[in-house]
Amino acid sequence: MNNSHPAFELVTSAEIESLGVRVEEYRHVSTGAQHLHIAADNPENVFLVALRTVPQDSTGVAHILEHTALCGSDKYPVRDPFFMMIRRSLNTFMNAFTSSDWTAYPFASQNRKDFDNLLDVYLDAVFFARLDPLDFAQEGHRLEFTETDNPDSELVYKGVVYNEMKGAMSSVTSQLWQTLSKYLFPTTTYHHNSGGDPADIPKLTYDQLVMFYRTHYHPSNAIFMTFGDIPAAEHQAVFEEKALHKFEPLHKVISVGREDHYQAPLRVEEHYPLSGEEELKEKTHIVLGWLLGDVTDLEEALTAHLLAGVLLDNSASPLMKLLETTELGTSPSPLVGLDDSQRELVFVCGIEGSERERADELEQQVLTVLEEVAEKGVPYEQVAASLHQLELQQREIGGDGYPYGLQLILTALTGATHRGDAIGLLNIDATLEKLREQIKDPRFIADKARKLLVENQHRVRLILSPDDKLAERREADEKALLAEIKTQLSDGDKKQIIQTAHALAERQQREDDASILPKVGVEDIPPELPKVEGEEVDLGKQKLTRYSAGTNGLVYQQMVSALPEFSEEEKQLLPYYCQVLSEVGLGDKDYLEVQQWQTSVAGALHGFTSSRTAIDDLQQLSGHFILSGKALARNQEALTELMQATMEQVRFDELPRIKELLLQTLARREQGVVGNGHALAMAAASAGYNRAAFESHATGGLLGLRNLKALVRGLDAEQGLEKLAAQFQAIHQKILAAPRQFLLIGEEDKLPEFTQALAPLAVDSSLPPADPNAPFESQHIQQLWIANSQVNFCAKAYATVPMTHPDAAPLAVLGGFLRNGYLHRTIREQGGAYGGGATHDSNIGVFRFYSYRDPRMGETLADFDASLKWLTAEKHKDEQVEEAILGVVGALDKPGSPAGEAKKAFHSNLYGRSHAVRQEFRRQVTEVRLEDLKRVAATYLKPEKASTAVVTGALGREAGLKLDLQEEKL
């Protein structure tokens, strides 16, 4: 059946029953552009256009182009159509990505008018970008004098991508991957940093950017991808009319070649900057990486995934067992696993928290494990369990991070990029079936381990060691280079730099005519918040809430216990109790046997806690412990049995295992600071206002990280581990005695049977929930947290009101209003930060300003205050308020997966956020007026009442202390 537009021809199509979709591949007759359409009965339509981009250096040309292409086009010659459309839309997703070999522009919307608007803007932005030199200066890089008009002052580099990559490359994990790729791929595009290396970004010229655009941003090099209930032919009619008919074929094929594989393994050592640390001991990363083969060969790719799973799935897997238990390092490397995002599959294993002289021994230990697997194989049950995990990943309907349709599109994109079988990457059932037969041969995995790893000479061993002077040297080198550049500037050059700075500032201040862009309005907002209804039934003496949802053969279930009274020390330990609970032994099984049990029956099993304030009182705080599991429907009884054993037979006597788990957690938390710095800064700034805000900071925030470091240090003291295990046991006994209820999500016809199977978990309780009104002493916070970062994350926080207060809706809208109208321009465009804005969190009753990957500090904090003056002093239009309202409603209405929607409804109801309460809040949001924004700002956001927190690196410490911030060390 061919439903294509006359300008397109159908290449192939396939029904994929396991995903409930039909995939159709088309080719544009004239230009050869590819169109992959995933037809689904889903109103959240997704669009993505990808261009193969293969940079040959680390100047970040593809990344800077991604930013610059969104700064105005032929049809929409405004300065910032991308961010302007975010404000004029009900999108559920809108972004742009630069990967290592493609650049993609995706969006999603449930509103057809909105979808059509965004499609028009995106097509024009990608294929008819204006690429103004001033946008290149703003988004990429430029030279400026520290005193703009004074040519005798120092020169500095500025630019959004320049600062973004300074932030991104502050992450040790990013540096580890980039350095490993450099050696694994000596000749292809992956050798280079596609995002841009801060040392190389200033080498990119505007002319090079334009040339790259002309050769890469052409329909012949484009992949159009769509998902949802709009037919393919309707999309194709728009592609043809708005863009494709204007192009001739591009007689150039852009692709990534295969690497010539090494004849012998390569061993290399490099360094990474580690500042703000007193101790360099045991901070070295040692990783081994292999190139395994072509990502477009579906059978080979899935076999590699299966092998990686067998080796690394859980703590009982041979290689993961080694990496977790070896005394050569503190925990497995964050890179451990199989990467399938590039032309060739990459397998990585290794450790962190090590020393360079241990590398030979680690390499030998890894090779010994691999040789043993290649010699003896692994038990069939382990291989079958890993294949079970692959099936689960294939079947599960996502959509709680990215829209589900976008997840499917990104899965297929790797195949399409390299002109392979994109549909095959989605339709893996037949290959899974083949693997089920192949693994019956006990030599199958053994032979694959030998071929892909043991005998594969394209192996790189990388030692990445810390250097506490490297950041200073790089800073000094940059200053010396800028000083050298300055000595060579003519008077005309200096004048040009000053003129560019003025022209850019003028452009950034200019009010563009937004009316040329399409928009939706408040009138296009659906009147009702989507509703998901569950059914309450009795389970023994307890309550079970069950939801019927299209889960594609999976079941989700949770045991939910009201948190009892805990001491302050126990509260600090709760996150670690939750982590350890499902990672240690049960009854007569040790943790290795339990890990294998979990892998064979469950897709996931983990404990966590949640807490919320009352909807009308910020001082009332209640919380729950949740044991959450998911499995294929056929394994629901086995999952329930596993959950019961986890609660009734858990052992906290495996002391080395507990220490190992805490070391792994500490490593992940430390690595996460730079990627999540703005959220951590906001949590720190908010922590003085109420107990909910404090506990968030003291467990998941920077204070929690400091406490975890102290906890780990204490484990080496005499009886330290024994004491911790006893504390975990005491917490567990309280949770066992707490009142329970249950959540069950599955396909309708299975729910009664699933309900029956859950009965063994419904035991009587004797412990009342904690007092929700425990006292809290508020405090004013002015903190400077020192981390290993080259950039800053700034936050200011103000105490406000809970969700049901009439001012909560205007405060929610105010965040978007200030970001759209003032903060985006001053912090991102003028200040050069990667992002900045304001938001209201009604759960803790706090309004927060933030910046992300920010080169500035004091100026940004001043901009937060200046935005409030701008609100009162300037004249504003009603449409600015409408744009902010659309942003809030879009976030409220954003759909999740079927199971995710059910979980959200249940947990909202658990804390009094019923559908009626959320619907009323949403209604209030749609009725907010400008005078409401001014009133709530004047009432709550008085600068003298602000609490401030900044996350910075050693180089930012002095600036922070000058602002009278109190230094806090991690």
Q: Do 730 and 805 fall into the same domain?
A: no
What the block records as the tokens of 959 is 């600036």
Place of tokens 């640390």: 277
pLDDT at position 1, please? Answer: 53
- Please tell me which residue in 44, 66, 144, 670 is annotated as part of the active site: 66
Whether the per-residue pLDDT at 917 is higher than 70: the answer is yes
What CATH number is given to the structural domain containing 371?
Answer: 3.30.830.10
Q: Do 931 and 830 fall into the same domain?
A: yes
In a domain, 473, yes or no: no
Domain end residue (candidates: 761, 796, 822): 761
CA distance 193 to 213: 18
In a domain, 917, yes or no: yes
Q: Do 745 and 822 fall into the same domain?
A: no
CA distance 851 to 134: 23
In a domain, 31, yes or no: no
pLDDT at position 766, please? Answer: 77
The H-assigned helical ranges of 652-718 are 655-675, 677-686, 691-699, 702-714
Give the domain extent around 963: 780-969
Nearest to 409 by CA among 30, 97, 91: 97
Mean pLDDT of the chain: 93
What the block records as the tokens of 473 is 């040297």
Q: What is the DSSP letter of 410?
A: H
**What is the average per-residue pLDDT within 155-167?**
87
Q: What is the DSSP letter of 824?
A: I
User: If DSSP codes are grouped into helix, strand and coil, which group holds residue 346?
Assistant: strand
- Please tell me which residue in 24, 25, 139, 240 is annotated as part of the active site: 139
Q: Do 620 and 720 fall into the same domain?
A: yes
The H-assigned helical ranges of 217-297 are 232-242
Per-residue model confidence as pLDDT tens digits over 855-869: 999 999 999 999 999
Whether the per-residue pLDDT at 471 is higher than 90: the answer is no
- Do 305 and 450 touch, CB atoms closer than 8 A? no
Q: Do 279 and 388 fall into the same domain?
A: yes
CA distance 426 to 213: 31
DSSP 414-451: HHHHTTS-HHHHH--HHHHHHHHHHTTSTTHHHHHHII
**What is the average per-residue pLDDT within 448-477?**
93
- H/E stretch holding 369 reads helix 359-376
Identify whether 259 is a catalytic site residue.
Answer: no
Per-residue model confidence as pLDDT tens digits over 820-835: 999 999 999 899 898 8
Q: Do 841 and 732 fall into the same domain?
A: no
Q: What is the DSSP letter of 572?
A: H
pLDDT at position 656, please? Answer: 93
pLDDT at position 527, please? Answer: 87
Q: Do 568 and 668 fall into the same domain?
A: yes
Domain end residue (candidates: 761, 790, 811): 761
Place of tokens 């080719």: 27
**CA distances (Å), origin 300, targets 292, 339, 345, 553:** 9, 13, 10, 26
Whether the per-residue pLDDT at 279 is higher than 80: the answer is no
Q: Do 794 and 674 fall into the same domain?
A: no
In a domain, 873, yes or no: yes
pLDDT above 90: percentage of residues in the chain: 78
Instruction: Check the CA dihedral 182-185-187-189 and report its sign.
Output: negative
Per-residue model confidence as pLDDT tens digits over 506-551: 988 888 888 899 999 889 988 888 889 999 999 988 999 999 988 8
DSSP 593-647: HHHHHHHHH-SEEEEEEEEEEETTEEEEEEEEEEEEEEEEGGGHHHHHHHHHHHH
Split into its structural domains, the chain has a count of: 3
**What is the average per-residue pLDDT within 771-781?**
90
Of 486-490, 887-891, 894-898, the one with minimum mean pLDDT is 894-898
**What is the average per-residue pLDDT within 320-338?**
94
pLDDT above 70: percentage of residues in the chain: 99
CA distance 442 to 173: 36
Contact residues for 568 (Cβ-Cβ < 8 A; gap 6+): none
Q: Do 707 and 841 fall into the same domain?
A: no
Of 224-233, 451-460, 462-471, the one with minimum mean pLDDT is 462-471
**What is the average per-residue pLDDT within 662-679?**
91
CA distance 736 to 730: 10
**CA distances (Å), origin 963, targets 661, 854, 861, 953:** 39, 16, 10, 15
pLDDT at position 813, please? Answer: 97
Q: Do 689 and 805 fall into the same domain?
A: no
Instruction: Check the CA dihedral 296-302-303-307 and report its sign.
Output: positive
Domain end residue (candidates: 438, 467, 496): 467
Identify whether 234 is a catalytic site residue.
Answer: no
In a domain, 233, yes or no: no
Beta bridge partners of 311: none
pLDDT at position 399, please? Answer: 63
What the block records as the tokens of 968 is 């806090």
- Do 955 and 685 touch, CB atoms closer than 8 A? no
Q: Taking each helix axis as running N to C, give the angle between helix 720-736 and helix 568-581, from 0 to 180 degrees, rounded to the nearest 10.
A: 90
Q: Do 739 and 807 fall into the same domain?
A: no
Contact residues for 636 (Cβ-Cβ < 8 A; gap 6+): 555, 557, 746, 750, 753, 754, 757
Q: Do 647 and 608 fall into the same domain?
A: yes
In a domain, 375, yes or no: yes
**What is the average per-residue pLDDT within 146-171?**
86
User: If DSSP codes are grouped into helix, strand and coil, which group holds residue 504?
Assistant: helix
Instruction: Give the side-chain half-sphere CA count within 13 A for 316.
Output: 22
- Do 51 and 103 touch, CB atoms closer than 8 A? yes
In a domain, 62, yes or no: no
Per-residue model confidence as pLDDT tens digits over 633-659: 999 999 999 999 999 999 999 999 999
Per-residue model confidence as pLDDT tens digits over 600-613: 999 889 999 999 99
pLDDT at position 26, please? Answer: 96
In a domain, 348, yes or no: yes
**In this structure, what are the phi and psi dihedrals at residue 822, rounded to the nearest 5 degrees?**
-135, -50
Beta bridge partners of 558: 628, 743
pLDDT at position 488, please? Answer: 93
